[in-house]
Structure 1
Amino acid sequence: MQKISVLTRTTLMFPLALVLFEFSVYIANDMIQPGMLTVTHEFGASAAWMASAMTAFLVGGALFQWLFGPLSDRIGRRPVMLGGTVFFILSCLATLLSNSIESFILLRVAQGMGLCFISSVGYAVVQEAFEEKAAIRVTALMANVALIAPLIGPVAGAFMIEIWPWRMVFVFIAAVASLALIGLARHMPETVISRAEKLPLIQIWHDYRAVFTNHRFLMGALCIPLLAMPLIGWIAMSPLILVADGHLSVVEYGFWQIPVFGSLIAGNLVLARQVDRWRLGNSVKLAWYPIGLGIVIMLVGAAFLDKPYFLVAGISVIAFGEGLSSAVMIRFTLTESTISKATAGAALGIINMLLYAIGIELYKLFYLHAGMMGFALLSTVVALVYWYLSRGVVRRAMLARVTGHGVTI
């Protein structure tokens, strides 16, 4: 199929439907965060389960990444994406039957599987259907819409939990996902030709081996979760930091998320606006400065004032840098592999979700043992590793585009 280079109302209908599904999956995590104290109290569980619930969600996002991408290569992107959307809706509604913290955690794993379909199928279609700069612009714009979830999710969740039982949050999420299902069914293009032969498991193994032994791909794939790790750690730990330890109300907790995710959206908007003017990769280099500044703010605040507001300020500045970098780094990483973009996207998703889950548990450990200084120190280590790896990724990608020797999609 001919790649789309011009964004119109018609060509944007599929990305809008996809991002509505992405939004519903994200708010499945964000809207319940202010209610996690209520959930743990109802089930008689300790507050430590609050962060573990998000870990379970991310583990679900990694479980079947390896399968859904290759499966969509065989039977088509549309049936896998639509089936995944239906599964996510049912897993949200099943929360109405949850009666223990263990069953709740299992459902969090099932709901997290919605992430598999976004990265290994949905975003693969975006990369296949749009030409490079259009794909980056669409990815950045989609990120802005999806990031409304963590921006309004905690606030909306806090107000909803004040009025209704916490399970109604998941009924609302299922309703949003149902609207996305209708849009995907009407507007999602099919970018592969389905094949009648059986799924070649040995070929799947060879494809994944080729992806995971591609060192250039791995370097880019590691950069993406490292870039987002401080923000992911904040999302997981902020209910404990602000509500349990900071004694803020759940509504106040929600409002303190606004500068963080507002900064992330601002970074994405700047990227979407400047992508035609900047040489690809320059935004990643520019983003190193706000990321470094955010780390300094957190370290100074934790060392001298020990107030959570400095973590909010530092994470907000880091989030702006993430917004400038994320869409470009995703594109750079996927273009390092000649294997099917669904398989490469699934491999990227597996790495992301596993590192996010590990990162959350590390942030929990560091915070419980060293407080806000522990949170700031772990963020410093993560940012330094990201800076070291991203230099090579950007250098290689920019050189490939100058010489014309890079992998294209």
Structure 2
Amino acid sequence: MKNSVQQGQNLSLSRATLMFPLALVLFEFSVYIGNDLIQPAMLAITKEFGVSSAWAPSSMSFYLLGGACVAGIMGPLSDRIGRKKVLLGGVAFFVITCLLILLTGNIESFLVLRFLQGFGLSVIASAGYAAIQETFEERDAIKVMALMANISLLAPLIGPVVGAALIDHVSWHWGFIGIAFLAFLSWFGLKAKMPNTQISIPKQPMSYIWDDYKKVFKNKTFLGLTLGMPMVAMPLMLWIALSPVMLVEELGLSSLQYGLAQFPVLGGLIVGNIVLIKLVDRLALGRTVLIGLPLMLLGTAIVVIGTIWREYFLYCVILGMTLVSFGEGISFSVLYRFALMSSEVSKGTVAAAVSVLLMMTFFVVIEIIRILYEYFHLWAYAISCFALIALWFTVPRGILKGIMQQRKANGEF
């Protein structure tokens, strides 16, 4: 079959093979901007629904919860019926839920639709990312993931500015119409360019899914790496969730100033991914993580310093979070690759397990910090970010060092 890829036959990176990742990243961009464009509008949305602004971060946490709740099904399903079918169905569902949210009239129905839209996150992680890892060679897969991250990062850069403009000039409803249109376009690209990976899993009863998950979750290397990933990603997630409240309500910035403040922070993540693409062929795999995490710890320490000297908080939080995002950029794709390949179970199931742990952790931590923020404000944000990065230097760092030593002993670069 012309557009199929046999499992075990990885492709090299070229202009032709990039068409599938580019179609996937258009959907990823749609899903991400579905959060980043809406977050700055949440103050207006909560006001429209007549509820407290403390509900604003829940738009993001329920979005992540939706992804976590179906990830456990999506991965094994894509193993059995094919990544392409699951991904195309997920894109169509996302488009429909983006249009349905236009009919909501209260915060409860709004959050239900946000929960359903979050299924798109799971489809990307369980079917899309797994297909990327299966399609390309190891280092090419990391490059593709970093390249996709850079394109999708236009969402948090553009989203706050566009979201602020929508609130100032039209309505938040138009944001969801635009998101649905982009996702609709990606459906056609994926249908045309996504390879049909040949399914090699025997037709077993669905009860075998539970056996696969037990194998994955009993793998200590998998658990250590995967539970370490939210520690790396969480500070930036908290920034996206809480920065509208911190910068607009606490510090009194305008919507435009809030949007502009995102550029250095998210720009750091883009630069980090570019540096990763340049260095991944030159350094031992995992070395960039050992460079990036100390930079992230320094960045969170700067945020804490800004909380102590409040008059410098704005400068400190932007500088600190820029370092955090740069460190995440040179680290996260490598950690994801190691976590996915740490188990011999089918990659759709492993990717789903990663997705479940990531998004459930994101949901729980964001909701906890949202509540703490009501009482401790900027201190809750600063100390949480510092503690999360510091925790990575315990078990996850030891597991990463062990993997790197094993690769060196096996002659792998």
TM bracket (short chain): over 0.9
Look up the match of 1:60: 66
Between the aligned partners of 1:40 and 1:340, the Cα distance in structure 2 is 43
**1:391 and 2:397 equivalent?**
yes
Of residues 156, 162, 165, the one that matches 1:156 is 162
2:252 equivalent in structure 1: 247
* Residue aligning to 1:215: 220
Counterparts of residues 104-123 of structure 1 (less than 5 Å): 104-123=110-129
**1:194 to 1:340, Cα distance in 2 relative to 1, 3 A:** closer
The structural deviation recorded for 1:195 is: 7.3
- 1:262 matches 2:263: no
SS of the residue 1:48 aligns to: helix
Amino acid at match of 1:171: I
TM-score, structure 2 as length reference: 0.95
Aligned counterparts of 1:334 and 1:405: Cα–Cα separation in 2: 20
Equivalence for 1:39? 45
Choose which of 319, 322, 328 in structure 2 pairs with 1:322: 328
Q: Over the residues paired in the alignment, what is the CA RMSD in angstroms?
A: 1.6
Select which of 160, 172, 178 maps to 2:184: 178
| One-letter code aligned to 1:152 | I
* The 10-residue stretch of structure 1 (207-216 or 244-253) with the greater mean CA deviation from structure 2: 244-253
- Are the equivalent residues in 1 in contact too, given 2:39–2:59 (CA < 8 A)? no
- The 8 Å contact of residues 12 and 137 in structure 2, kept in 1 or not, is answered as no
Residue of structure 2 aligned with 1:79, choices 69, 82, 85: 85
Partner Cα distance (1:323, 1:358) in 2? 23
- Please say if residues 97 and 113 of structure 2, whose CA atoms lie closer than 8 Å, have aligned partners that are also in contact: yes
- 1:221-232 map, 5 Å: 221-232=226-237
1:182 Cα deviation after fit? 0.8
Q: Counterparts of 1:366 and 1:315 in 2: how far apart (Å)?
A: 20
* Residue 143 (1) aligns with residue 153 (2): no
**Shift of residue 18, structure 1, vs aligned partner:** 0.6
Q: Which moved more, 1:267-276 or 1:373-382?
A: 373-382
C-alpha contact 1:77 1:192 (8 A) present in aligned 2 = no
Deviation at 1:218, TM superposition (A): 0.4
Matched residue, 2:104: 98
- The answer to whether 1:298 aligns with 2:303 is yes
Provide the rounded CA distance (Å) in 1 between the counterparts of 2:365 and 2:65. Answer: 12
Residue 73 of structure 1 contacts residue 192 of structure 1 at CA under 8 Å; is this kept in 2?
Answer: no
Bigger mean CA deviation after superposition, 361-370 or 27-36: 361-370
Alpha-carbon shift at residue 190 of structure 1 (Å): 1.6
Give aligned pairs, total: 405
SS of the counterpart of 1:201?
A: coil
291-300 or 348-357, which deviates more: 291-300
Cα-to-partner distance string for 1:292-325 (whole Å, 9 max, x where unaligned): 2102211111112352332222111111100010
2:132 pairs with one of 122, 126, 137: 126
Comparing 285-294 and 262-271, the one that deviates more: 285-294
Deviation larger for 272-281 or 303-312: 303-312
User: Per-residue displacement from partner, 1:53-87 (whole Å, max 9, x unpaired)?
Assistant: 11110100101101011111111111111000000
Task: Find the partner of 2:31 among 25, 34, 37.
Answer: 25
Verify the 8 A CA contact 1:85 1:181 in the aligned structure 2: yes
Deviation by residue 1:29-48 (Cα, 9 ceiling, x = unmatched):
00011111111111111111
Say if 2:288 is the partner of 1:283.
yes
- CA 1:131–1:195: 2 relative to 1, 3 Å: closer
Q: CA deviation at 1:289?
A: 2.5
Distance 1:346 1:256 in 2: 34
For 1:277, the aligned partner's letter is R
Per-residue deviation at 1:371? 2.2
**TM-score using structure 1 length:** 0.96
353, 358, 374: which one aligns with 1:352: 358
Percent identity among equivalent residues?
45
